[in-house]
Amino acid sequence: MKATLTAVIAAIEAAAIALAVFVAVGIPGVLVWWLALDLAGDPSQAVAGIGGVWLLAHLVPLTFSLTPDSALALGLEPQALSFVISLAPLTLSFLTALLAFRSGWRLGNRGGSGVAAPLGGAAGFAAAAGVVALIATPVLAAPVWVAILVPVLWFGAWSTCGFVARAGASGHDWWRSAVRQLQRRLQPLSPLGAAVLPTRAREVVRQAAASFAALLGLGALGLAGAIVVGYVEIVTLSQGLQLDLLANLLVFLAQLAVLPVAWAWAVAWCTGAGFAIGTGTSVTPFDTLLGPLPSLPLLGAIPQAWGNAGALAPALVVLAGVLVGALAGGSREFRRVPLLSAILVPVFAAAFTGLAVVGFSALASGAIGPGRLSEVGPAPWLVGGLAAAELGAGILCGVLARRIDHARLLERVPRLRLGEREKPTEAADTLPLTPLVVTPVEEPAVSQAPTSALTPAPATEISAVPIPPSDESDEESLMREYAWENGAQRIDSATPSARTSRWRRWLPKG
């Protein structure tokens, strides 16, 4: 497929994605205008509000105004206010990101060369963002070019990630050429490092993705637990609003739109850094300090401080890193790498995970109102640094633990038998051996036996008779066993009939 055609297709898909998200925002807005306002007022204001929410979902700050009643409902002073909102409804933001990544992945599968597909997608999304920015001019808190550039960067970043990921997975020619050039540049520094660069890079990406997924899973569990524990408070706040059915539906949709924000706050809480809801506030596992909050029911799930037990939250993050390291270190390929590589790969993976957490935390930070509500969310670099340190320590422990050769270690450690002690005794050292001695067994006499021949050897039985140790050779010992005196000594312990038979064995017949 030619590059031009690829760019055109990418532009069309990008415009379709922008339209789909605009429709997702517009349907609730039209319902509010129709059911709540009876289609009263200027339609351009309703369209501007829908466009403003679309831009806010793509990280463009907006200017909003509140009436005294609305300000009182948000926990503010009952007066008209105008302020900036920059905290994005991340559900809509991630919807665009997911569709953009999918578009880049599909275009990477179709072919194309260079940056034709990402540039085409960015151009198509820029056209859609320009139209929306012109519609939402009354509520913009930034110039129009910023309202166009920021959404394009958001869409283009995710589309490029999808395109590059598919190119690397499919092994496109330009991707292989770029990798070979990078290896040639690194070859003078370390020939072996340049040779294994693709393998090590894949392992770093794999461990970083697993670590970030584990941290997100831990945050999701924390958020779910906080909602369950704070259910009564959530219901109380919802009933205190005294809203009708339509208003309750809108509040539900608003909370659904900001649910990923609460997810990011839960991740920050698990790392120990915590988050803030207003200037001078702090919510961490160790301490909780809050002021007046907006009447949003979801805020009823804010957890209480655990005190000294709050160290369990970062410990769980470290444990998640240990699990990731143990799974990664158990692979046969990774266990054979040198020790330096086994250390550097988890370090780089933890660093990339920390950067991803920084970005996630930055998206969940911003302003939601005037005054003290202009600072909401976690501190991105603090959360990312703690996450990288905790996960990195856990991954290193897991990887190094799986590299231990337990069989060799057990060979070097002496065996310890619990409950057994050696008790040497003199009797045990002086006891004679008990070799097997052959003794004759009585047989019935045979009538008319010839007198010129010896009686055939009778059947024998095996018995263990202790014999004192001797310095004789094996041959001399055997001769002594069948000697006359030895036979006489053994017969004393036999029965009378047996003694007679054994004597006759050594005497000639007749």
Asked if residue 324 lies in contact with residue 398, where contact means CB atoms within 8 angstroms, the answer is yes
Which residues, in sequence order, are CB contacts of 156 under 8 Å at separation 6+? 100, 118, 121, 122, 125
What is the number of H-type helices and E-type strands within the chain?
Answer: 21, 8
Q: Kindly report the number of other CB atoms within 10 A of residue 475's CB atom.
A: 8
CA-CA distance, 51 to 45, in Å (whole number)? Answer: 10
Which neighbouring-strand residues pair with 65?
A: 82
Q: Kindly report the number of other CB atoms within 10 A of residue 461's CB atom.
A: 9
Asked if residue 266 lies in contact with residue 302, where contact means CB atoms within 8 angstroms, the answer is no
CA-CA distance, 144 to 459, in Å (whole number)? Answer: 118
β-pairing verdict for 436-440 and 288-289: unpaired
Which residues, in sequence order, are CB contacts of 126 under 8 Å at separation 6+? 148, 151, 152
Which residues, in sequence order, are CB contacts of 259 under 8 Å at separation 6+? 90, 91, 298
Q: What is the pTM of this model?
A: 0.76
DSSP-derived 3-state class of residue 189: coil
Per-residue tokens: 161: 């990630």
CA-CA distance, 272 to 318, in Å (whole number)? Answer: 12
Q: Name the residue with tokens 């929410």.
A: 53
CA-CA distance, 151 to 157, in Å (whole number)? Answer: 10
Q: Kindly report the number of other CB atoms within 10 A of residue 248's CB atom.
A: 13
CA-CA distance, 92 to 86, in Å (whole number)? Answer: 14
Distances (CA, A) of 411 to 211, 340, 406, 417, 445: 35, 26, 9, 15, 64
From the number of C-beta atoms within 10 Å of its C-beta (0-12, 13-18, 19+), residue 25 rates as buried
- Residue pLDDT tens, the chain, 510 long: 577 888 888 899 999 999 999 999 988 888 877 776 666 667 778 888 899 999 999 999 998 877 777 666 655 677 777 888 999 999 999 999 999 999 988 888 765 556 788 888 999 999 999 999 999 988 888 889 999 999 999 999 999 999 888 888 887 787 888 888 888 888 888 888 788 888 888 899 999 999 999 999 999 999 999 999 999 999 888 888 887 888 888 889 989 999 999 999 999 999 999 999 988 889 999 988 888 888 888 988 998 888 888 899 999 999 999 999 999 888 777 777 888 888 999 999 999 999 999 999 999 999 988 878 888 999 999 999 999 999 999 999 999 888 876 556 566 665 544 444 444 444 444 445 444 444 554 444 444 444 444 444 444 444 444 445 545 455 555 445 544 444 444 444 444 444 444 434 444 444
Q: Work out the angle between the directed axes of helices 380-403 and 312-329 (0-180°, nearest 10).
A: 50
Q: Kindly report the number of other CB atoms within 10 A of residue 311's CB atom.
A: 13
Per-residue tokens: 174: 């330009």
β-pairing verdict for 81-85 and 62-66: antiparallel
